[in-house]
Amino acid sequence: MTRGLAVSLVTLVGLLLIQCGPSASGTKTNWFRECDRDADCEQELSCSCGICTTPCAEDAECEEGHCSTELEASARCGMATTKLLCVASSSSACSEFSIEADPDLGDAVVASCTVDDALVCESFDRPFPAEYATWHQGEMGLVVQDCETHEGQGAAHYESTAAGVSQTRIQLPTPVSSGPLHARFFVRLGGDMVLPEQLQLFEFWDREGSSIPGRVGVFLAADGVPRVFVGASDTTLEPASPAPLQTDAWVCLELSLDVQATDGTAALEVNGDEVLSGTGLATQPEQPISVVVVEAQPTSDTAGVDLYLDDLVVATTPIGCP
């Protein structure tokens, strides 16, 4: 899904700090002028996030420019916000909000979607909350952007021109020690990307640290075929009929676990069809599963990554691909 009038963060900030000329259809002459207080603005405009503008709910309420998305407003204000503002329009590609490194994992964020039994809902429509912990290494960049999305206003975009890693950790509100656990997310691979030997996309952890022996994760191999690693069993599950993920298209993945000490199961669906499964597995790590990880973690044999992730849901019942 492409948003034609989205703007890049750099372009957005630059344009909004420039005083626009007089409106041909209205009386306000200082739309988007730089300001420190309401008195710096004329007519009904007010000083919001450093510019003369007005709140809005739709484009028709903006005499100049257009009504921002939440992502554009957050980029303008330097923090996550649900308040929409009239902002200058541009033909630039998209609005971006860089996700900076933050080592501290905080409390769980209340799941805000309507999925039954949801533990985590992340639509990537806004900058990450302070409770998330993000780690970068090498040349990997991570932004939330609205140029390519599966649904809603934003999606995470991982991109590098050389070897690098980016990983974001999210706390579960209730650790899962046994029973069913599901994670559904959408992925889009750039068509020109050469996949590394392994590209990690998602993991369940039972702890934080450099070594997570009981982790369960979804990764792509160099052939583009998804696989699942079950750490407690030291087992990699592979499809019986390997098929690479489609590139330049959104693909739905759902990882399903029955967390058990000796007789657990693991399965992966792609666009609603089961592509691999395993039974009689040790899927229960030493501690309850308490952290989910979204990431672009390639092995070092790659020159670059072009990967989008969107609409993550973690729940204790099946989620499905809409």
With residues binned 3-state (H G I as helix, E B as strand, rest as coil), the percentages for the chain, rounded to 5, are 10, 40, 50
Nearest to 179 by CA among 261, 94, 254: 261
Let me know: does 126 contact 154? Beta carbons within 8 Å.
yes
Strand 289-298 to strand 273-281: parallel, antiparallel, or no bridges (unpaired)?
Answer: unpaired
Alpha-carbon span 300 to 162, nearest angstrom: 9
Q: Report how far apart, in Å, the C-alpha atoms of 16 and of each of 50, 105, 231 are.
A: 9, 34, 49
Alpha-carbon span 75 to 12, nearest angstrom: 8
Q: Which residue has the tokens 């998305």?
A: 69
Question: What global pTM score does this model have?
Answer: 0.83
First vs last C-alpha separation in the chain:
15
Q: What is the pLDDT of residue 8?
A: 43
Q: What is the pLDDT of residue 163?
A: 84
Name the pLDDT band for 269 (thresholds 50, 70, 90): very high
Angle at 104 between CA 98 and CA 108, to 5 degrees: 90
Name the pLDDT band for 105 (thresholds 50, 70, 90): very high
Nearest to 115 by CA among 252, 266, 320, 272: 320
Q: Report how far apart, in Å, the C-alpha atoms of 147 and of each of 15, 90, 187, 232, 282 are.
A: 18, 13, 14, 39, 41
134-150 pLDDT tens trace: 999 988 999 999 889 99
157-209 pLDDT tens trace: 999 988 899 999 999 999 999 999 999 999 999 999 989 999 999 999 999 98
Could you tell me the two tokens for 148? 């390519």
* Domains identified in the chain and CATH numbers: 9-87 (no CATH), 99-315 (2.60.120.200)
Q: What is the pLDDT of residue 28?
A: 59
Q: Which residue has the higher pLDDT, 238 or 94?
A: 238
Nearest to 244 by CA among 277, 275, 217, 200: 275
52-104 pLDDT tens trace: 999 999 999 999 999 988 888 888 887 778 889 999 887 666 788 899 999 99
Distance of CA 187 to the CA centre of its chain: 10
- Partners of 166 in the beta sheet? 136, 296
- Partners of 298 in the beta sheet? 199
Angle at 33 between CA 78 and CA 86, to 5 degrees: 60
Helix axes 9-16, 70-77, angle to 10 degrees: 70
Averaged confidence pLDDT in the chain: 88
* Amino acid in the structure at residue 143: V
Q: What is the pLDDT of residue 93?
A: 63
Q: Which residue has the tokens 């450099």?
A: 210
Could you tell me the two tokens for 199? 């590209």
